[in-house]
A and B are shown apart, each in its own frame.
Chain A
Amino acid sequence: MKRFLLNTLYILLPLLLIAGIMEVLLQHIPNDYKYKKEYLEKNAENIETLILGSSHAFFGLNPIYFSKKTFNTSNISQSLNYDYQIVNKYLNNSTSLRTIILPISYFTLFGKLEEGEEAWRVKNYVLYYRLNTATKLTNYSEIFSNKFTVNFDRLYAYYIKNESSISCSTLGWGLNYKSTNAQDLSKTGKIASERHTRKDIHSIESQIIFNENITILQSLIEWCISRNVNIVFITPPAYKTYTQCLNKEQLSITVETMNDICSQYPNCTYLNLLNDTNFVAKDYYDADHLSEIGAKKLSIKMNEILNTQLE
């Protein structure tokens, strides 16, 4: 037995050492989540407008176009449970916060990060935001959350090529979706709409997720009421190649639900900009994400709404 254990240990030890070193090095690489968490820790007191949500907000709302002190804490595929936990943990004692902007996209009420293709991102909330959202052991680790080659590429890019690993501006807006490298709108419209459409919205799984999301929204609204904070829900603009392929029922449930919620709570406003004709092809990076041109347009529009209608 002793011989077996020693031999196994000798063979596995180099691998365990490499794994340990990789884990430490990966966790030391700066990233958007770490940056945003640190920003919130230092500046939560001063933030007046907070942007939450998924990639639609991350790339679509640039805080520099807002007249009040604004920070974008959204991230790719960030679902409502993470939005609520971030607010609850990092802005609980904020006295300046007046408005939260929360995008309710076509898929928001029918999905959550843990069950999609982007589930590997859960580790970012566990490791960097320090939220208790882990659903499995791999959520506590960088190396086990991604493929080995992805981790290797990240280490190589940061430590050898000295490339920046931060992909957001100082105020949290996503920098990578530029008009200069815009994607094919008709192709991405079809793919994204398929990805965002729930296969069976009447299934019990879909209903469970939907109900969970509504409960989270209500908790967030209650949280805001107790702190005298307004919430503006927006369904962000998308290009026609995307909107034309959407499931009408899923979309109408989303819109009706948000209208219902906003009619119940005085601190809530809902803006459906999905088919806003002010946004044209050149405003988009792909069929459902704005480029920096579109982001400027949407941010200015949102700022006007906040300053006029909600004042």
Chain B
Amino acid sequence: MLFNSLEFALFLPIVFLLYWFVFNKHLRLQNLFIVVVSYIFYGWWDWRFLLLIAFTTFCSWLSGVLIQKYREKRESNPTQINWAKVVSATNIILNLGILGAFKYYNFFVNSFVEAFASFDIHLQPTTLYIILPVGISFYTFQALSYSIDVYRKQLEPTKDIVSFFAYVSFFPQLVAGPIERATNLLPQFYSKRTFDYDKAVDGMRQILWGLFKKIVIADNCAVYVNQVFDNYEVQTGSTLLIAAIFFAFQIYGDFSGYSDIAIGTARLFGFNLMRNFNFPYFSRDIAEFWRRWHISLSTWFRDYLYIPLGGSRGGKWMSVRNTLIIFTVSGFWHGANWTFIAWGAFHGLLFLPLLLAKKNRKNTNIVAENRLLPTPIELFQMGTTFLLVVIGWIFFRADSIADAVNYMQGMLQFGTVKAFYRILELKEFLFILILLVVEWLQRNNEHGLESFENFGKVFKKNKFMRILLYYTILCLILWFSGEEQQFIYFQF
């Protein structure tokens, strides 16, 4: 079920009313209700994969219980084999095995065949017809983090299987994140939720802003971007540059829009999900960009890959190696294609100079804090960071690395900058401008409509003006709704 669909528009109020008026008496029943509606939400796409998510969830829950049990046994008998470690490793292998089979099997087979072909050895591959389960990378990582945390003694294992199933399948963030940590989300299923008016209203605003980003920004940019990327060979340099910039906003609108809707929806049900985006295009360097883009994934890789690999404890070269590994793996997480690996590695290479110069934590504050406008230096830093990110997105969007390289060569044609002014004539540019202005004003908040103080006193004090603003956004959504596009991150 898509957030921007009629089905979800009917599903959400029904679930909301049943959740607060029918199932609010018994916590366990309310959690069970969340599991049921989350499975309906997921099964709407393809019910066959419910078994897979249920299996993944059950294995991770069971691993938590077993890790605890074997740990206690071993404490009384230290000579015993470390079964807790075996269980934890088995669960990791199982989860990654499922992810690998569904997402990467054909990629590895084809890559091997191509590699052998370059030595003139021609293999007859057996590729499989595999449908990629929606959101498999997201819920697998979420389930994995639980059992790893239990093994590391950072979390008490839960015996409450209903709460655990609700934690993994919680419908607002099930298919495209934020990738929640058990330490944050799971305890919220243990205690009774109470309805909070302010929280719910803020949730509605965040949903509205998310819909604007998805429907007005992402879906409109997608039409232009798809046309250009599908026939990039015959496009002018300026068109290629505009499409690359539009793709940067398409993917931002699409993914951060999804996260806003997810977080806002969770708020309606009394849950707090972690922040996933923090206005990344206002970053002054790549390190800052990665602290602001897909935060739940970056921190996941930091905690479960970078630190276990040694992090920065082994000196400069260990840090360099580990940084390159996590960026490359993070790219590969996005999809079974060399383009994603190249995208990850490209960002890793951009990050390295900052790391080596120990400037990767230089910009941790909000840009132009307590000022309306940035300084020329800040503007230059944001501009160059954005351009580097745009180059990375070309790898991300292209069908192959060769296409990405050719696309960039095409972008460097004579006259690209000269004809670039055409961007001003496109309606997508106007939408992007609205987005940038609103988010710039709100950059000290969590989302574009969180507080009205930054829009001026008239919005803060006058309820009518606020309602007028909501209607303006709704009208923009209705009037400029583009061709309906699936959320890009569903495929990951």
Contact = CB atoms under 8 A, between A and B. Distances in A.
B477 to A, nearest CB: 9
A137 B470 contact: no
B197 to A, nearest CB: 5
A201 B144 CA distance: 39
Interface of B: 5-7, 10, 20, 129, 195, 197, 200-201, 204, 467, 470-471, 474, 478-479, 481-483
Interface stretch (A3-11, A30-38, A66-74): A3-11
8 contacts: A4-B195, A4-B197, A4-B200, A137-B7, A138-B6, A141-B6, A203-B129, A204-B129
Interface in A1-55: 1, 3-4, 7-8, 11, 15
B197 A3 contact: yes
Interface residues of A, number: 17
Contacts of A161: none
B20 A1 contact: yes
Given A1-B20, A137-B10, A11 B470 contact: yes
Contacts of B7: 136-137
Contacts of B470: 11
Contacts of B471: 11
Given A136-B7, A148-B479, A8 B204 contact: yes
B20 A148 contact: no
A148 B476 CA distance: 11
A8 B201 CA distance: 9
Interface centre among A136, A137, A141, A149 (most CB of B within 10 A): A137
Contacts of A147: 481-483
B29 to A, nearest CB: 19
Contacts of A15: 474
Given A137-B6, A141-B6, A149 B474 contact: no
A147 to B, nearest CB: 6
Nearest to B470: A11
Nearest to B479: A148
A144 B6 contact: yes
A199 to B, nearest CB: 12
Contact of A4 (B10, B201, B482): B201
Contacts of B129: 203-204
A138 B5 CA distance: 8
B467 A11 contact: yes
A150 to B, nearest CB: 10
Contacts of B200: 4
B57 to A, nearest CB: 28
Interface string A144-172: 10011100000000000000000000000
A263 to B, nearest CB: 32
A18 to B, nearest CB: 9
Contacts of B481: 147-148
Given A8-B204, A149-B479, A1 B6 contact: no
Given A136-B7, A137-B6, A148 B204 contact: no
A203 B130 CA distance: 12
Nearest to A205: B129
B195 A1 contact: yes
B229 to A, nearest CB: 16
A215 to B, nearest CB: 20
B11 to A, nearest CB: 10
B463 to A, nearest CB: 10
Nearest to A136: B7
Contacts of B467: 11
Nearest to B198: A4
Nearest to A7: B201
Interface in A201-224: 203-204
Given A11-B470, A141-B6, A148-B478, 13 more contacts: A4-B197, A4-B201, A8-B204, A11-B467, A11-B471, A136-B5, A136-B6, A136-B7, A137-B6, A137-B7, A138-B5, A147-B482, A148-B479
